[in-house]
Amino acid sequence: MRNKDNHKNYRKTLIEDGYVVFKNIFTKEDLDPIRKISLDAIKKQSKNHREKNKSQGSLILTADYPQFAELIGHEKLKNLLKELKCQNPKFNSGYIISKPKDGPALFWHQDWWAWQHEISYTEEIAQFFVMIYLQDTDQKNGCLRVLPGTHRNPQILQEYKNAHSDSVSRVENPEDPLYYSMEGEVEVPISYGDVVVGDARMVHGALPNRTEDERLLITLWFHPNYEGLPEEIKERIFEMFQRRGVDTDPSGKNSMTPEKWPTEEKAKVYHLFPSSGSNVKPISWCREPIWNKFTKLENTK
């Protein structure tokens, strides 16, 4: 898995910076079929979907497309998870995120949802994204930008209550600072076939797409040490996998899930399915960090 020109410790970089880039993981032949499926899916989206997700571009669940089993269960992705020393990783959900031509910036945000639990303030990575870009992506067509280290430190953007709101997604106020450059940001240009892994707690966004073409990426969500997580968090993960109670998937209940995929596709990813076995109530949904409370708790130990 290690690239010949880069023998860095990927796990260490992910823990310290909140993200890490893997170069040349997939070939064009690996990803071209996924690109075609994604473009076809985008064409089917309504005008309302595009307007509702103007900042993101699109949020299309991979669960609705069993063909994604090939990517989610790919041997190269399995090896990448091994490189990060994941123990019993489990899959949560995936999205086709496509920024159309002249699409605006993606607002600054973080994606963690259990900030009321103390595990959120430790070195433990409870969830990370795997971003697979389906074309070369740079500053012109909307590459990722990150604020390294914000997964482990109080940061004003993490307490910005409007992030993930409908108005921000619709870009109702283009002058909102959530769309603009921030001090300390790092732009992350990517080549077709590269993969970016990032801690869900890290503040990140994306530049505008100033080109004439769609900018495509697939975001897959994994839990690297699923069995080691608290039971109430595992139960919430299972709920999300079942498409129940997810703020970015309001109509997901009773929709397609990987459990309902055809036998052949399901077999490729079954080992990544989270499970429900306890009588514990799922942890409530909480996107807002409570740094002061848990910083004080840590200082008293």
pLDDT of residue 2: 39
Q: What is the pLDDT of residues 217-275, one digit of tens each?
A: 999 999 999 999 999 999 999 999 999 877 667 666 668 999 999 999 999 999 999 99
In this prediction, residues 46-61 reach a mean pLDDT of: 93
pLDDT of residue 157: 62
Cα–Cα distance for residue pair 19/128, rounded to 1 Å = 9
pLDDT at 281 over 50: yes
Q: Sorting pLDDT into bands at 50, 70 and 90, what band is 294? A: confident
Q: Which amino acid would we find at residue 33?
A: P
Give the confidence band of 159 by pLDDT, cuts at 50, 70, 90. low
CB atoms within 10 A of CB 200: 22
Instruction: State pLDDT tens for residues 192-211.
Output: 999 999 999 999 999 999 99
The DSSP code sequence of 40-92 is HHHHTS-HHHHHHTTTTS--EEGGG-GGGHHHHT-HHHHHHHHHTT-SS-EEE
Residues with Cβ within 8 Å of 270's Cβ and at least 6 positions away in sequence, in order, are none
pLDDT at 163: 76
| Alpha carbon distances (Å) from 183 to 111, 142, 143, 145, 208 | 20, 18, 17, 12, 18
**Does residue 5 register a pLDDT over 90?**
no
C-alpha 283/C-alpha 105 separation (Å) is 32
Please give the structure tokens belonging to residue 270: 């079954």
Determine the pLDDT at residue 253.
66
Q: What is the pLDDT of residues 207-222, one digit of tens each?
A: 999 999 999 999 999 9
Average pLDDT score, the chain: 91
pLDDT of residue 3: 40
182: burial class by Cβ within 10 Å (0-12, 13-18, 19+)?
Answer: middle
Architecture of domain 10-299: Sandwich (2.60)
Average pLDDT over residues 152-174: 80
How far is it, in rounded angstroms, from Cα 221 to Cα 68? Answer: 13
Question: What whole-number percentage of the chain has pLDDT above 70?
Answer: 90
pLDDT of residue 250: 67
Quick one: 159 exposed, middle or buried, by C-beta within 10 A (0-12, 13-18, 19+)?
middle
Spatial distance between the Cα atoms of 215 and 135, rounded to a whole number of angstroms: 7
Which residue ranges make up each domain of the chain?
10-299
pLDDT in tens, 106-154: 999 999 999 999 999 999 999 999 999 999 999 999 999 999 999 998 7
Q: What is the pLDDT of residue 277?
A: 76
Q: Which of 132-141, 150-159, 161-170, 178-187 has the lowest mean pLDDT?
A: 150-159
Top pLDDT among 45 and 159 is at 45
Closest by CA to 108, choosing from 66, 161, 51, is 161
